[in-house]
Amino acid sequence: MLQVGDRAPEIALRTDSGEEFQLSALKGKRVVLYFYPRANTPGCTIEACEFRDDAQQFAKKGATVVGVSPDKQAAQAKFKDKFTLPFTLLADQDKAAAQAYGVWKEKTMYGKKVMGVERSTFVIGPDGRIEKIYAKVKAAGHAAEVLAEL
């Protein structure tokens, strides 16, 4: 399990626009990396729209917001366009990033055990180290909580 002070695992994924993304390319910037279970679902939409609505405040604090889910690149693009999200969404189809960050977990849904993303956020400092971890996040109000603690 990752801890505050650990070096953030590298991520190399496709963006919502199909471009190659590497987390290390953002070295020198503070990154708010948030993992969500599925694009265009109620909780994930609430969370994404709150990050969208606070995007200028995150930018003023020097933070780059990046969202990650196991969705395909096309689903990420549709989600981004539908809700006018001003930040990058990453397609983690093989769940490599979710596993590296320890957020691919067994969950109970409708009485069944299933594997899925546990909604979590990592604040990564300019030095590439984890500054803050938010686990088992509730979607509503989360962006404001992260913003207040930056």
Neighbouring C-alpha atoms within 13 Å toward the C-beta of 61: 18
Active site residue 44: yes
8 Å CB contact between 117 and 135: no
Q: Active site residue: 8, 44, 85, 123, which one? A: 44
8 Å CB contact between 43 and 69: no
Can you tell me the distance from the alpha carbon of 47 to that of 39, in angstroms, rounded to the nearest whole number?
Answer: 10
Q: Which of 22, 30, 60 is nearest to 122 (CA)?
A: 30
Cα 14 to Cα 81, 92, 121: the distances in Å are: 16, 8, 19
Residue whose structure tokens are 């969202």: 67
In three-state secondary structure terms, 92 is: coil
Catalytic residues: 44
